[in-house]
Structure 1
Amino acid sequence: MPLGGVGLGLMLVGGAAIAQSSVTLFGVVDAAISGFTNKSEDRYGRSATISQLVLRNSGYNTSRLGFRGTEDLGGGLAASFWLEAPITNDDGGGIATFSRRSTVSLSGGFGEVRLGRDHTPTYWTNSVFDPMGQVGVGANLLNSIGSTSPGRDFKASTNYPRASNSIGYFLPSSLGGWYGQLMYSFHENVKYDPGTVTPPGVNAAGTLNPGTVAATRAGRYVGGRFGYANGSLDVAAAYAEDTTGDNFYAGTTDTTKTANVGASYDFGVLKLFGELSHEQRVRDYAIRPIGGGTPDINLDGYLVGFTVTVGVGLIRGAYSEVRYDMHTAALPNPKSSKVALGYVHNLSKRTALYATVARISNKNGAALTINGGPAFLNNATYTPGVATGYDLGIRHAF
């Protein structure tokens, strides 16, 4: 066949494939003027203030650009892909990676099997049952506890709110309102057996090892979420274990165990939200040292919130609280509380103006900050206290 005929044939084949598929371009562009103020105090009650005024993205919805598509394979089967990239429209950046979601899946009457980078089950509970959607200055404190806790060397989770290298399974949508998700994320570390065959090096403590400290399980995530949604009611519970660090020579493995349960009920004009969350950070020892080793950390939190529809507008409010149990009698346990209030004015189905204000109160060494804001002045002299912030912005979705 002449080259022109080959090109025409490829175009026809490609056209036939497109005819059996659907591909959608979608996204959100969200920009806000945001202000932040953090106040720390010394033991004499004197304060030190850190403030910042910025134009930023993602004050109401996270800015993004994505492509998704589905091909009908027949017999009830479908193949799908989803590529979603964050964008920083305030400075023209983004779309360097599809880090928000990058999956390919096969679905049918059995449900859906999804491979790639995706939201974790425990994240969904925090997001769905937060009137602020975990975005902007109003994002609840149950989102903030993914950061490193005060007074310990536990690493923060690398699998919140998403996990890479994951296999996920979703229940089919034909179960009368019941839904569920299971996820396993590979750590993808190289395994050495025995561990002493790793290349020589110096460990974090400065001690020469026969080989470098090789992570063997850090990065692994396993979790699940199950719920029921019917009419006005939606309730779900999730549990996960995330291996955040390990040290072959020290014989330790660090794991973050998270359990949460949330619910919402829509009365029509008024919708109520609630969530309970428990997180435990555990260090397991091959041989527990004299003195018991590093104590665990427990974090308990809750959220209550609401939305009220007023004409084309939506009033949003939430209160959240987090308490740390450091398992030490030397100092009182840290705790933080947050109140957030916002209003969204919908100019159309895709465009909205919004305003949100929030205030965090930290006690006993807690240092949680407003989402997107600067860190506290936190040293031997000053202790973190109150953080406040606001967003004034516009969101357009397409």
Structure 2
Amino acid sequence: MKKSLVALAALAVAGVASAQSSVTLFGVVDASISGYSSTSRDLNGATFLNPFYVNKGSVKASRTALANSGYNSSRLGFRGTEDLGGGLAASFWLEAPITNDDGQEGIATFARRSTVSLSGGFGELRLGRDYTATFWNDTVFDPFGTNGVGTNLIFSSSAQLGAFGTPAASTGAASNVGSSNYVRASNMVAYFLPPNLGGFYGQVQYGFHEKTKYSPGLATPDVANSQRQGRYVGGRFGYANGPLDVALAYGSSTVGDDFYDGTTTKTNTLNLGASYDFGPVKLFGEVSRVKNKVDYETQQFGFIGRPDVDVTGYLLGVTVPVGAGLIRASYSAVKYDNNQPEVLFEPRLADPKANKLAIGYVHNLSKRTALYATVARISNKNGAALTVGGPAFVTSGGFTPKNSTGYDFGIRHAF
């Protein structure tokens, strides 16, 4: 009986394999020794009201870790394509994040990508969880690919504004897919242009919030962030031909709402990125503007709502091939505009801003294995608190975030 069951299982697997044009197991295992330090300083001094104040100097929070994903994100995935004939093809992509430094997270969730699609001469229709259109510019035009301590500040600051007001609880060690739409969005319907358009490419995406709608509206439960939070709309269009690649992207994510207060909070992102490969050197650049805004359904005379928060930023980067290796460097800067209202007799606080310098080297031992090293430093001003990773700044006791430094020394193996 057992032999018969084994034979039937083998026949079933063989039938699936024969119907499938290709099925691929792939992944990346990336580990690094990484160090992080965040220094805060006491910028206060003696005043007329407190002439005996003693400045506390600085305080540093640091950490050394065996980390993962310093060069490429560690992952494990399966993808496959079936030729349906007539130019049509069906495909799937299931990709899971893994934490190979401690083994805590494995294939517990396909949170990186989980899609099924139909493609042909018309392009591709893709359903499921995937990268957002606006994130593509942040990572494609960053020499460090938004990985490790070298990750650009455009991404770091924008991801903070894209967080949901009431994130869903994580389940065990599985990645939380319900806390942000900045990098990836769930429940999406996406359309991608076909690849035969002379270098032009593009995509449009719509992610359902999957909240319950009530009719009449007054039947809606009085629970914040339960009606529209989680919706995403975005698109990206570009041109890549020879050494040039340039793309413009826009996305809008609903990060909060309250039916009875008549408010909807959105994070809108607009960015433009480009790269040009001269051969001996490849240049990268990106400019970005992110707005976190609250829309009010009703406004009465004298009403003052929460001001919008705007973040503008830019990135300049370069890669230089050197034998079997690659030198990488980037400079990024962001500035926040909290749109503070003018208050009589009160000085307007300076807007937070930060800049970052990162440099690294990748040495390819083979097509699949590489050693890498990266160092980076962030300078924060006027209350900005961006870090390269690791511990947060100490802000209690009158301390203000200042500098964050970090390094990654690691190995990456892809299969």
Q: Given the two structures, how large is their TM-score scaled by the length of structure 2?
A: 0.88
One of 264, 269, 280 as aligned partner of 1:269: 280
In the TM superposition, 1:74-93 aligns within 5 A as 74-93=85-104
Report whether the alignment pairs 1:39 with 2:50. Answer: no
Report whether the alignment pairs 1:242 with 2:241. Answer: no
Letter in 2 for 1:391: D
Following TM superposition, by how much is the alpha carbon of 1:8 offset from its aligned partner in structure 2, in angstroms?
Answer: 6.2
Alpha-carbon spacing, 1:3–1:168, altered in 2? closer, same or farther (3 Å): same
Following TM superposition, by how much is the alpha carbon of 1:5 offset from its aligned partner in structure 2, in angstroms?
Answer: 8.8
Deviation per residue, 1:335-379 (Å, 9 max, x gap): 010000000011111111100000001000110111x32111123
Please name the residue that 1:111 is paired with.
123
Alpha-carbon spacing, 1:70–1:147, altered in 2? closer, same or farther (3 Å): closer
Provide the rounded CA distance (Å) in 2 between the counterparts of 1:83 and 1:108: 21
Provide the rounded CA distance (Å) in 2 between the counterparts of 1:260 and 1:297: 16
Please name the residue that 1:223 is paired with.
234
Provide the rounded CA distance (Å) in 2 between the counterparts of 1:7 and 1:33: 45
Provide the rounded CA distance (Å) in 2 between the counterparts of 1:273 and 1:385: 27
One of 347, 364, 367 as aligned partner of 1:349: 367
Following TM superposition, by how much is the alpha carbon of 1:196 offset from its aligned partner in structure 2, in angstroms?
Answer: 3.2
Provide the rounded CA distance (Å) in 2 between the counterparts of 1:14 and 1:35: 47
The 3-state SS of whatever aligns with 1:287 is coil
Letter in 2 for 1:316: R
One of 290, 294, 297 as aligned partner of 1:279: 290
Asked whether the 8 Å contact 1:154–1:281 carries over to 2, the reply is no
User: Aligned residue pairs: how many?
Assistant: 382
The 3-state SS of whatever aligns with 1:124 is helix
Higher strand share: 1
Alpha-carbon spacing, 1:273–1:214, altered in 2? closer, same or farther (3 Å): closer
Provide the rounded CA distance (Å) in 2 between the counterparts of 1:347 and 1:167: 40
Worse-superposed segment, 246-255 or 14-23: 14-23
Provide the rounded CA distance (Å) in 2 between the counterparts of 1:221 and 1:317: 32
Percent identity between matched residues is 61
Alpha-carbon spacing, 1:340–1:6, altered in 2? closer, same or farther (3 Å): closer
Asked whether the 8 Å contact 1:195–1:214 carries over to 2, the reply is no
Please name the residue that 1:376 is paired with.
393
Extract structure 1 runs of 4+ deviating beyond 6 A: 2-10, 153-157
Asked whether the 8 Å contact 2:159–2:183 carries over to 1, the reply is no
Following TM superposition, by how much is the alpha carbon of 1:292 offset from its aligned partner in structure 2, in angstroms?
Answer: 2.0
Q: Which runs of 5+ in 2 are unaligned?
A: 46-54, 168-178, 343-347
Deviation per residue, 1:141-178 (Å, 9 max, x gap): 111113446xxx97897102000000011000010100
Report whether the alignment pairs 1:192 with 2:211. Answer: no
Alpha-carbon spacing, 1:309–1:356, altered in 2? closer, same or farther (3 Å): same
For the aligned residue pairs, the C-alpha RMSD in angstroms reads 2.1
Asked whether the 8 Å contact 1:352–1:395 carries over to 2, the reply is yes
The 3-state SS of whatever aligns with 1:196 is helix
Please name the residue that 1:164 is paired with.
186
Following TM superposition, by how much is the alpha carbon of 1:12 offset from its aligned partner in structure 2, in angstroms?
Answer: 4.8
Asked whether the 8 Å contact 1:154–1:254 carries over to 2, the reply is no
The 3-state SS of whatever aligns with 1:93 is coil
The 3-state SS of whatever aligns with 2:149 is coil
Letter in 1 for 2:30: D
The 3-state SS of whatever aligns with 1:88 is coil
Q: Which runs of 5+ in 1 are unaligned?
A: 200-210
Asked whether the 8 Å contact 1:198–1:214 carries over to 2, the reply is no
Provide the rounded CA distance (Å) in 2 between the counterparts of 1:161 and 1:112: 21
Asked whether the 8 Å contact 2:206–2:232 carries over to 1, the reply is yes
Asked whether the 8 Å contact 2:225–2:256 carries over to 1, the reply is no
Please name the residue that 1:97 is paired with.
109
Worse-superposed segment, 212-221 or 118-127: 212-221
One of 328, 334, 348 as aligned partner of 1:316: 328
Alpha-carbon spacing, 1:169–1:13, altered in 2? closer, same or farther (3 Å): same
